[in-house]
């Protein structure tokens, strides 16, 4: 199951936060401004560990009654209409994530669960210009465009946590969504424009989250940070004050995401760590 990060990748992109560390800074990658919209974005997000893949998008306008997104072929892929009190209040920011089907035959998954291979997903979501449109009270239209690419950064490798420092390395595949050899074939066939190993990482997103049951308030105590993709040492020190805020024997899991130039993102996650160990965390 995907870690429940404080916000999704695309919301972090759209927030425009800049984190300085080491040799560079991270700038937001959303199209801003986006025609008549304040900003907009589309991206692909992969969980290489679980082996699932999804399409995310965001648009931010003013006082809209409806919002729509169309793909490069002019096919409408999303439409939303405000009704009742929301029609009186109006829409501004609209954000959504697709379902994230498995991209591989996970032996532990429900046999009826849908599988969408990476190649099938890329055929479904064409690269190119995605058009956003909105309509206001007086029929006034808002329009904007942004680009989707198939440049997918490789999954972070060797993710680890030693009790205070989260570390990782650059990878060369997409985990369960594609081995290095399978990705070579997709590049050779033209399904991918470039091998993920060769896609520059502009930022790393690092998350540590208590691995507790739903409803446990400890699960809301999440540490999350973005650092530049060109940091000399791929490691982040988790603040001691944050770790001290967690109860004794708190099981935690770690996720590291590689964010590409166009904000496509690939995440790797590892669990089984124990913080403030006294009696030991349950398996």
152-169, pLDDT tens digit by residue? 999 999 999 999 999 999
DSSP state of 197: G
Domains of the chain: 31-148 (2.60.40), 157-275 (2.60.40.10)
- Give residue 8's pLDDT: 54
**pLDDT score of 31:** 86
The pLDDT assigned to 139 comes to 86
- Which regions of the chain are under pLDDT 50? 1-7, 11-28
Dihedral class, residue 128 (left if φ above 0, else alpha if ψ from -120 to 50, else beta): left
Contact of 153 with 260, CB cutoff 8 Å: yes
CA 247 to chain centre: 28
Tell how strand 91-97 and strand 76-81 pair up.
unpaired
Name the burial class of residue 107, with classes exposed (0-12), middle (13-18) and buried (19+) by CB atoms within 10 angstroms of its CB. exposed
pLDDT of residue 29: 60
- Residue 160, sorted as left (phi over 0), alpha (psi -120 to 50) or beta, turns out to be beta
In the block, residue with structure tokens 């479904």:
124
Torsion of CA 206, 209, 214, 220, to 10 degrees: -90
Whole-number pLDDT of residue 140: 87
Both tokens of residue 18? 């800049």
* pLDDT at residue 270, as a whole number: 98
Task: Quote the pLDDT of residue 283.
Answer: 67
Query: What pLDDT is recorded for position 191?
Result: 96
pLDDT score at 237: 98
């Amino acid at each position: 199951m995907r870690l429940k990060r404080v916000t999704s990748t695309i919301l972090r992109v759209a927030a425009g936060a800049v984190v300085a560390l080491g040799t560079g800074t991270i700038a937001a990658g959303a199209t801003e401004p986006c025609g008549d919209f304040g900003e907009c974005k589309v991206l692909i997000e992969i969980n290489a560990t679980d082996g699932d893949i999804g399409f995310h998008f965001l648009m931010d306008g003013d006082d809209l009654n409806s919002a729509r997104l169309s793909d490069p072929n002019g096919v409408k892929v999303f439409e939303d209409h405000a009704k009742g009190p929301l029609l009186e209040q109006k829409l501004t920011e609209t954000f959504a994530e697709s379902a994230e089907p498995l991209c591989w035959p996970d032996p532990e998954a429900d046999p009826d669960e849908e599988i969408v291979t990476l190649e099938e997903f890329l055929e479904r979501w064409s690269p190119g210009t995605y058009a956003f449109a909105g309509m206001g009270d007086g029929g006034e239209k808002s329009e904007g465009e942004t680009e989707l690419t198939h440049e997918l950064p490789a999954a972070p490798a060797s993710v680890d946590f030693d009790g205070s420092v989260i570390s990782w390395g650059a990878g060369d595949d997409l985990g369960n969504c594609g081995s290095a050899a399978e990705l070579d074939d997709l590049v050779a066939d033209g399904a991918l424009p470039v091998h993920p190993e060769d896609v520059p990482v502009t930022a790393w997103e690092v998350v540590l989250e208590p691995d507790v049951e739903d409803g446990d308030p400890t699960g809301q105590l999440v540490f999350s940070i973005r650092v530049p993709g060109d940091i000399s040492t791929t490691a982040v020190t988790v603040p001691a004050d944050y770790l001290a805020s967690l109860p004794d024997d708190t099981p935690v899991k770690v996720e590291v995401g590689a964010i590409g130039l166009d904000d496509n993102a690939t995440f790797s996650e590892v669990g089984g760590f124990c913080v403030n160990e006294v009696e030991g965390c349950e398996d």
